[in-house]
């Protein structure tokens, strides 16, 4: 009898593998479940531009902030189809690593979110395009602050011109 053609009866196989082949500790199991958590967003994300906001009372953005953001995008020759707006306030997992692994962005604009909330090990100065982990980042105040402050809008526009080569 050759072992090349040996087959086990189907009733024996479950008995052989009663336990997992690999035991995972709690952190590994949590990491696996985190990777499976979807990240809902507004937009189509065609240009791989991620916009992060933290707004408590809205699923995505309030109407005034959405209009302001749309105007900014138009000035950059972009639309909502080019970006993904993620409101981290409503995310089960808030880490940037998780969001980035799900969406794979190239450019990230962060509106008024302290980076430790995103579990990032550093801070970016506002209005300065920064490179980190092969990605471009731009930190800015909350959209509501930019909407009402002309001086802040100018600083933001200058940073956007650098980020998008305008």
Q: Which pTM was predicted? A: 0.77
- Which pLDDT value is given to residue 58? 82
Q: Residue-wise pLDDT tens for the chain (166 aa)?
A: 566 676 666 556 566 666 655 555 555 555 554 455 788 999 999 999 999 999 888 888 899 999 999 999 999 999 999 999 999 988 888 889 999 998 999 999 999 999 889 998 888 899 999 998 899 999 999 999 999 999 999 999 999 999 999 8
Domains delineated in the chain: 3-34 (no CATH), 38-163 (3.40.470.10)
Residue by residue, DSSP assigns 12-40 as THHHHTSS-SSPPPHHHHHHHHHHT----
């Amino acid at each position: 009898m050759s072992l090349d053609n040996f087959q086990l009866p189907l009733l024996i196989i479950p008995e052989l593998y009663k336990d997992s082949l690999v035991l995972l500790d709690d952190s590994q199991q949590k990491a696996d479940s985190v990777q499976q958590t979807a990240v809902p967003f507004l937009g189509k994300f065609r240009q791989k531009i991620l916009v992060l906001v933290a707004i408590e009372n809205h699923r995505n953005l309030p109407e005034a902030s959405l209009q302001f953001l749309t105007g900014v995008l138009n000035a950059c020759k972009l639309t909502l189809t080019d970006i993904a707006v993620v409101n981290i306030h409503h995310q089960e997992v808030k880490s940037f690593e998780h969001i980035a692994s799900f969406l794979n962005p190239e450019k990230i604009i962060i509106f008024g979110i302290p980076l430790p909330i995103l579990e990032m090990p550093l801070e970016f100065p506002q209005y300065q395009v920064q490179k980190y982990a092969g990605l471009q980042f731009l930190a800015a105040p909350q959209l509501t602050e930019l909407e009402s402050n002309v001086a802040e809008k100018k600083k933001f526009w200058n940073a956007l011109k650098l980020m998008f080569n305008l």
